[in-house]
Chain A
Amino acid sequence: MKISLNEIKKYVDIPKDLSTEELIRLIGARLVEVEGSEDWSEKYKGVKIVKVVSCEPIPDTHLHLCQIDCGSKDLVQVVCGAPNVHADMFAAWLAPGCVVPATFETDEPFEIGSRKLRGYESSGMLAAADELALGEDHEGIIEIDPAMPGVKPGASFAEVFDLNDIILDIENKSLTHRPDCFGLVGFAREVAGILGIKFEEPSGLEGREASRPRGSLALSVEIIDSDLCPRYSCAVVDFADAPREKYFTKDDVFLIKADMRPISPIVDLTNILMLKTGQPLHAFDYEKFVRVGGAKEPKIIVRAAKNGEKLELLDGKTIECDENDILITSNDTPVALAGAMGGASTAIDETTNCIILESATFSLYHLRKTQMKHGIFSEAVTRFTKGQPAGQTLAVLSEAVEELGVEPLEVVDYYPAPIEIPPIEVSVADINSLLGTDYSEELIVRTLANVGLMCEKLGAKGLSVKVPYWRTDLHIKEDIIEEVGRLLGYDNIPLSFPTRPFVGARDDPMRILKNRIRDILSDRLNAHEILTYSFVSKALQEKFGEDPKDSYEIVNSISPELQCFRQSLAPSLLEKVQENQKAGYKDFALYEINQVAKKSDGLNNEGVPVMKTNLALAVTGDYYKAKAYYVELMKELGLQAGDPRRAGAGDAHGAPRSGAWGAGSPSDDSWGCAQQDPQHPCGTSQLANSLLRKFKLEGPVAYFEITLDDYLDRSLENKTKNLRFSRFPSVSRDLTIKVSQDTPYEKVYDSLDRGLVKTGLIYKIEPVSIYEPKENLEKTKNLSFHLLLNNPERTLNGDEVSDIMYKITKETCKAVSGEII
């Protein structure tokens, strides 16, 4: 919304010593966000009002040679191509050196000069509306009414037309609840309040009597549902809408400042009054209206539309209505989409002799939907959807009729249930205790009175605030507190801190776990944390083997790519593995911690879907690489039960066993998520070839996905560490055992481990290699281990070590039917 500061100044006596910058700052701090301001005074600096003294056609051209009086001693010669230029007219002249206003502050400002046209000297230019950035008209130059005050040769165009102005660009969104501020009067009232000035209500609005009708033409009004239309005022006026006047007027400037276009006298009048008061008006052609209605007695019926009912609008479009839309009808035949746009059948035009002026208010809830459904974003509907008060419809109507200067033939005001806003009780203590201020009662009462909120004293410190009709947003005492805080400036409130007991803050257990995992995976295991969208496509789910029907589906999704709330993270992760492979990355691990949901998980006790927090990690590598991440992660989280003496590097104990997990091998087409084991709820999987192909991945790629909720309780348990260290040197031995190919690694490892436990020594078993010969006719494999032995009591000697090695090797070979190499 555009607001002219000059217009505001007509209602508020702004202190002389207040700079414009400070005024704009205060409006921003205490009323509404000011997105920008445009200073027009420079733009029209060199534009003068001149009189065309003589105007002669230049033979064989469309041009005229004009001598103009620009207020100085000598006449100036200008060549003009406009068809409407004529002698004795007053026009706007851009003197040489003047920048064409339409190009002002653009990338290419155009400076007018003196030049020769068809051999004639031409100084400056007589300007059309579009060149002045005051409209789109380029048919001819603007013509100024000689009778207008201040018009004389050489007068400043800007001064006469009030263009030395600052135009504010207001962010409408933050005034959603303030219908009154969508009119200059309401906006000015707030500016007065902000400046601590008592606002003088303009005469003629509140409590104004209806213009007295001559009563010669009948018109009645019926409202079917007053929730849809609380008040409907209208007047029948015999007024012929003339074509636009030839003169460029101050009213034109007024509309243009508000970003509106002058159209015709009657439309301009309704628009001007709307801009001033916030109350939209609509004019119907009375005769057309009566004709459309068909009956003898003209009657306006306001009702809800029927489903499928059609109406052709002013802009030529035909809309199909639904039950939410509100229609103005002439004896039940739709003639306008209430609050949004008039209909074509009753549009006023040059044949119009008599009009119905409508000033009404409609349900903002309905109009909001109408606006969205039919895509109508007019200035009128913008105001109606804020909830224009019913209190002023008749007053604005009367003002309009008066402006037209004719007595109305009929005036109808249908207001079956006048809206009374009850007074609000609030105490000085209420105000100060919520704001944290120490404002006096006198200051509070004065501040509220400045904007028309009159207080009456109740008891010792209580106030009863009378709410004027235009403040439909004020209902509870907090609303009044807001007014006081805002008008006196929130930025003037002294800052303080809450007082609170000296207790430690609690963190969320899931967040603690998530952060520990991030520390481990990113900082210690060098994986990259990513975030991907919570919405995925059905195609992606199907590709991954998920059933899209188990997803919560977004009905108004942006695209099919973002249609389903995801059931797991892995599919999104695999997509990102592919994108990064494509970008040239070869060796990396990505992980994400985020929420997932499935319909089959049901609803929780709040009746909302059960959400789980998952961790998924995908790595360029095989099953064993993903497993290594999982095992290390669990170990770092302290979630592995087991003998602390085994906590050495490469301890694979407790890892998911490939056999038991049903995890896929690269050639396994029956790939699937591993089953969930309560002790080890992890499915580490290497992608089957078919999936690699579907995801366009370069294999091998493996991943795991776990539900952190399953780990939450255990992650909070205390983990004790049974540490044993020695000051004596350790002895290392290497060992290779040949076993049959199908002997599980764990069987060999466990046997060695059992043997070493018995010795009472400190020890580590590190896997070194798993080797299978190429031509493996015997179907065997060699498992090599590196053992580290230490006696915390004394230095181990060679014989002892040999004994131990002999024993455990023998036992292990026996247990796994292997042989020592």
Chain B
Amino acid sequence: MLSVEKIKSDLKALNAEYAKIKDLPPEKRGEFGRELNKKRAELEKALQAALDAEQDAEVEPLDETAPSAPNRAIPRFNLGSKHPLMTELNRVLSIYSHMGFDIMEARQLDDEFHMFDSLNFPAGHPARDGYDTFRTAENFIPPAHTSTMQYRALTRYKDELKNGGKIAVVIPGRVFRNEDADATHEHTFYQCEGVFVSEDATMGQMLGVLKTLFETYYGQKLNTKTQPGFFPFTEPSLEFLIEKPKSLGGKGDGWLEMLGCGMIHPNVLETAGIDPEKYKGFAWGGGIDRLVMLKYGLTDIRYFESGKLEFLEEF
């Protein structure tokens, strides 16, 4: 690049040229003038560029690999975080919500009626033991599954059925099981329950909804399958499995058990004051912790309630 001094002297010389105009015959003056103007514009542009370059040359040397210039504060972002379980739960809920499911919150202390009686567990039935429930001195129960909310969902929305509507609700909640915590077991975890009732609900619809949920969640087509299961509050009862998604390293071989589901038992509908002859429904419930563990390859479920910043900062 030309130096500022050189351009300035060129400009000076050019300006001197203008004096020659008056010596030219009038018909040539125009063209001569335009020629000079063009040259001058070029020189001025070059001068500006040279001046800019001169100014810009006054910068400190840059170490692109360093976090800051010498003697300056290192820029820091003090970032907050949301709990991954809550974030993932919200993702799941948002998919349900887009499908048209209302959302209802679960409660963390409940009673025998909501935990068992309303769900068609016969009194004293061994199936009640299978849930490893905690109990308070007053015989309240920190719920062992979000199904405790089924009765409330059914009774809250049953009037909509009369008007030709449906009950379509999902219920996230914190649940508790009396088992010792280890890397894959927690006494405290999260579930999401789903309840659908209409005049023409079928098992085919339930399987369609569940497949769509997981396909949307994992953003791919998935093979799904079922296994017969047993829950007193659904009849028939199933376990729902999905093929391990590609995003989790699946190669079309493994299966993941995602949730339990089934057609709502007529006794459950009846207890909630819904005529089981007229209305049919399906319900399901699955854990959220496992979704998050699979997604992030977490090996220890106890991280979730650890409150460790080193864990939370990763999310």
Which residues of A does B touch, CB under 8 Å? 28-33, 173-177, 364-365, 368, 372, 385, 433-437, 476, 478-479, 481-482, 485-486, 490-491, 493-501, 503-508, 510-511, 515, 518, 521-523, 525-535, 552-558, 562, 565, 572-573, 575-576, 579-580, 583, 585, 587-590, 594-595, 597, 606-609, 611
Residue of B nearest to A580 (CB): B309
| Nearest CB of chain A from residue B136's CB, rounded to whole Å | 4
In the complex the two chains form, is B80's CB within 8 Å of A498's CB? no
Given A28-B227, A498-B168, also A530-B83 (CB < 8 A): yes
Q: Is the CB of B180 within 8 A of A576?
A: no
Across the interface, which residues of B come within 8 angstroms of A31, CB to CB?
Answer: 228
Distance between B201 CB and nearest chain A CB, rounded to angstroms: 6
29 contacts between A and B (CB under 8 A): A29-B225, A365-B125, A478-B263, A481-B235, A482-B235, A482-B237, A485-B236, A490-B228, A490-B238, A491-B225, A494-B204, A495-B204, A498-B168, A500-B198, A505-B99, A506-B102, A526-B80, A529-B82, A533-B305, A534-B174, A552-B109, A555-B136, A558-B178, A565-B136, A572-B307, A580-B309, A588-B309, A606-B111, A608-B140
CB nearest to B224 among chain A residues: A491
Q: Are B102 and A505 within 8 A (Cβ)? A: yes
Q: Smallest distance from the beta carbon of A216 to chain B beta carbons, Å?
A: 42
Q: Which of B86, B124, B202 contacts A436 (CB 8 A)?
A: B202
- Flag whether B137 is at the interface (Cβ < 8 A): yes
Of B164, B176, B205, the residue contacting A534 (CB under 8 A) is B176
Q: How far is the CA of A716 from the CA of B228 in the complex (A)?
A: 44
What are the residues of chain A within 8 A of B174 when measuring CB–CB?
534, 594-595
Contacts of B188 in A (CB 8 A): 533-535
Give A360 Cβ to nearest chain B Cβ, in Å. Answer: 19
| Contact A529:B109 (CB < 8 A) given known A30-B228, A365-B124 | no
| B226→A518 contact, CB < 8 A | no
Closest A residue, CB atoms, query B168: A500
Contact with A along B279-302 (1 / 0, CB 8 A): 010000000000000000000000
B102 to chain A: which residues have CB within 8 Å?
Answer: 505-507
Q: How far is the CA of A365 from the CA of B126 in the complex (A)?
A: 6
Known: A476-B235, A490-B203, A490-B238. Is A556-B309 also a contact (CB below 8 A)?
Answer: no
Whether, in the assembled complex, B135 has its beta carbon less than 8 Å from a beta carbon of chain A, the answer is yes
Q: Which of B142, B164, B226 has the most CB of A within 10 A?
A: B226
Instruction: Report the separation of the CA atoms of residues A555 and B142 in the bound assembly, to the nearest whole angstrom.
Output: 12
Complex CA–CA separation, A529 to B179 (angstroms): 26
Which residues of B line the A interface, CB within 8 A?
A: 78-83, 85-86, 90, 93, 96-105, 107-111, 114, 124-127, 129-130, 134-138, 140, 142, 164-166, 168, 172, 174, 176, 178-181, 187-188, 196, 198, 200-205, 207-209, 211-212, 225-230, 235-239, 263, 265-266, 280, 304-305, 307-310, 312-313
User: Nearest CB to that of B97 among chain A residues?
Assistant: A505
Please report the C-alpha to C-alpha distance between residue A608 and residue B136 in the assembled complex, in whole angstroms.
12
Residue of A nearest to B123 (CB): A365
List 7 additional A-B contacts (Cβ < 8 Å) besides A558-B178, A573-B307.
A485-B236, A490-B238, A501-B165, A507-B102, A528-B81, A531-B304, A531-B307
B202–A433 CB distance below 8 A: yes
Least CB distance from B111 to A in Å reads 5
Q: Complex formed: what's the CA distance from A552 to B181 in Å?
A: 22
Are the CB atoms of A372 and B209 closer together than 8 Å? no
Inter-chain CA distance A572–B305, complex, in Å, is 11
Q: Judging by beta carbons under 8 Å apart, are A478 and B109 in contact?
A: no
Specify which chain A residues have a CB less than 8 angstroms from the CB of B165 in the assembled complex. 500-501, 503
From A501, A572, A587, B166 is in contact (CB under 8 Å) with A501
Q: Are A595 and B108 CB-contacts (below 8 A) given A176-B130, A433-B200, A530-B312?
A: yes
Expressed in whole angstroms, the Cα–Cα distance for A176 and B228 within the complex equals: 12
| Residue among A486, A554, A597 having the largest count of chain B Cβ atoms under 10 Å | A554
A526 touches B97 (CB 8 A): no
Q: Which residues of A contact B209 (CB under 8 A)?
A: 497-498
| Contact for A552 among B136, B212, B307, CB less than 8 A | B136
CB-CB < 8 A to B86: which residues of A?
518, 529, 531
Q: Which of A499, A504, A522 has the most CB of B within 10 A?
A: A522
Report B-chain residues with C-beta under 8 Å of the C-beta of A521: 80
Query: Are A500 and B166 interface neighbours, CB within 8 A?
Result: yes
A175 to B100, CA, bound (A): 35
The 5 A-B pairs of least Cβ separation, nearest first, read A436-B204, A436-B202, A576-B307, A482-B236, A526-B80
B127 → A minimal CB distance (Å): 7
Interface centre among A562, A575, A583, A607 (most CB of B within 10 A): A562
A30 to B238 CA separation, bound complex (whole angstroms): 10
Chain B residue contacts of A174, Cβ below 8 A: 227-230, 239
Max chain A C-beta neighbours (<10 A), residue from B99, B104, B136, B229 = B136
Q: Within the assembled complex, what's the spacing in Å between the Cα atoms of A313 and B237?
A: 39
Q: Cα distance A590–B126 when bound, in Å?
A: 42
Which B residues are CB-close (under 8 A) to A553?
Answer: 136-137
Q: How far is the CB of B284 from chain A (nearest CB, A)?
A: 13
User: Which chain A residues border B208 with CB–CB below 8 Å?
Assistant: 495-497
Residue of A nearest to B101 (CB): A505
**How far is A535 from B111 in the complex, measured between Cα atoms in Å?**
17
Minimum CB distance partner of B148 in chain A? A608
Residue among B209, B236, B308 with most chain A CB within 10 A: B236
How far apart are the CA atoms of A673 and B198 in the complex, in Å?
Answer: 49
The answer on a CB contact under 8 Å between B81 and A436 is no
State how many angstroms separate the Cβ of B66 from the closest Cβ of chain A. 23
Cross-chain contact A529 with B111 (CB below 8 angstroms): no
Residues of B within 8 A of A495 (CB): 204, 207-208, 211
Task: Note all chain A residues with C-beta closer than 8 A to B134.
Answer: 554, 556-557
A28–B255 CA distance with the chains assembled, in angstroms: 12
Q: Are A435 and B312 in contact, CB atoms less than 8 angstroms apart? A: no
Q: Which residues of A contact B137 (CB under 8 A)?
A: 552-553, 555
Residues of chain A within 8 A (CB-CB) of B127 are 176
Establish whether residues A565 and B135, one from each chain, have CB atoms under 8 Å apart when the complex forms: no
Q: Do B265 and A608 have beta carbons less than 8 Å apart?
A: no
Contact of B207 among A490, A554, A556 (CB under 8 A): A490
CA distance A608 to B126 in the complex (A): 24
Q: Is the CB of B309 within 8 A of A528?
A: yes
Q: Given known contacts A174-B228, A176-B126, A497-B209, is B100 in contact with A503 (CB within 8 Å)?
A: yes
With A and B bound together, what is the CA distance between A594 and B111 in angstroms?
19
Q: Output the residue of A490, A573, A580 with the most chain B CB within 10 A.
A: A490
How far is it, in angstroms, between the C-alpha of A485 and the C-alpha of B79 when the chains are bound?
A: 52
Q: Do B108 and A556 touch across chains, with their CB atoms under 8 A apart?
A: no
With A173-B130, A482-B236, A511-B103 as known contacts, state yes or no: A608 contacts B135, CB within 8 Å: no
A496 touches B309 (CB 8 A): no
Q: Evaluate contact between B266 and A476: CB separation under 8 angstroms.
A: yes
* Chain B, residue nearest A31 (CB): B228
A530 adjacent to B97 (CB under 8 Å):
no
Q: Which residue of B lies closest to A596 (CB)?
A: B108
CB distance A552 to B236 under 8 Å? no
Which of A486, A506, A526, A557 has the most C-beta atoms of chain B within 10 angstroms of its own C-beta?
A: A506
| Cβ–Cβ contact B202 & A435, under 8 A | yes
- Complex: how many Å from CA A712 to CA B193? 24
A residues within 8 A CB of B204?
435-437, 493-496
Closest chain A CB from B173 CB (angstroms)? 9
Residue of B nearest to A587 (CB): B78
CB distance from B112 to the nearest CB of A (A): 10
